[in-house]
Structure 1
Amino acid sequence: MHLLFSYGTLRQPEVQRSVFGGEVPGESDAVTGHRLGEVRIEDPRVVELSGSAVHPALIPDRSSGAEVPGTVFTLTDEQLAAADDYEVDAYRRVEVPLRSGRTAWVYALS
């Protein structure tokens, strides 16, 4: 099992149904040492599925108290691979610390 932190479109029920084959329960948490930015998505499949060509992007920020709220999902190997397939090349999967003290995968700008 893998922890995946989402701050964007993977939290949308319609995206989860398409990517994972159903909705995935999650827990609220926050990634620390980052802030939100934006990235323009060119992949028409992802734009259609998410409903937007502008997606949030995680940007490192060492300011005191910098964090981004979101949801932590516990995924199987297959679900994590499906999330990797959904995310566009602008993102890469990295491990980050969470406010809860756990570490999770997240998609950040490459």
Structure 2
Amino acid sequence: MPKLFSYGTLQKEQVQLETFGRILKGTKDILSGYQLNMIEITDPEVLRKSGQKYHPVLAFSGNDNHKVEGVLFEVTEEEILQADEYEVDDYKRIETVFKSGNKGFIYVGK
């Protein structure tokens, strides 16, 4: 089963219910070598779901001292595609390895 790392609005139950139709199960994990920046969201549907004009976005730093805490959720292949729809065009999805040793998908800035 694929895993999806959330460091922002996908941790909100309301966003999960509206995006996936259910509350996701996950475990806390840490991503090394990345920092969080902020991005302005203009997509009206994403603004409505999240209630936030600015969303965090991962930026690769390559510095292992930089860490981002979040939740690694278990999702289906279909839910990965639903997450792709939720994330605006300023993000792209890549696969990486977390502190736990688990693999999962993250959304980074394009």
For the residue of structure 2 that corresponds to 1:85, the secondary structure is helix
Give the aligned partner of residue 96 of structure 1.
96
- The CA distance in 1 between the partners of 2:22 and 2:15, in whole Å, is 9
Whether the aligned pair in 1 keeps the contact of 2:32 and 2:63 (CA below 8 Å) is: no
For the residue of structure 2 that corresponds to 1:49, the secondary structure is helix
**In the alignment, is residue 18 of structure 1 matched against residue 42 of structure 2?**
no
User: Displaced runs of 4+ in structure 1, greater than 4 A?
Assistant: none
What code does the residue aligned with 1:51 have? G
Percent of aligned positions that are identical: 38
CA RMSD in angstroms, aligned pairs only: 0.9
- The CA distance in 1 between the partners of 2:10 and 2:91, in whole Å, is 13
Whether the aligned pair in 2 keeps the contact of 1:32 and 1:97 (CA below 8 Å) is: no
| TM-score (normalizing by structure 2) | 0.95
Give the aligned partner of residue 6 of structure 1.
6
Give the aligned partner of residue 48 of structure 1.
48
| TM-score (normalizing by structure 1) | 0.95
- Unaligned 5+ runs, structure 1: none
What code does the residue aligned with 1:40 have? E
How many pairs were matched up? 110
For the residue of structure 2 that corresponds to 1:23, the secondary structure is coil
Give the aligned partner of residue 30 of structure 1.
30
Q: 1:64 to 1:79 in 2, by over 3 A?
A: closer
The worse-fitting range, judged by mean Cα deviation, of 58-67 and 87-96 is 58-67
- Unaligned 5+ runs, structure 2: none
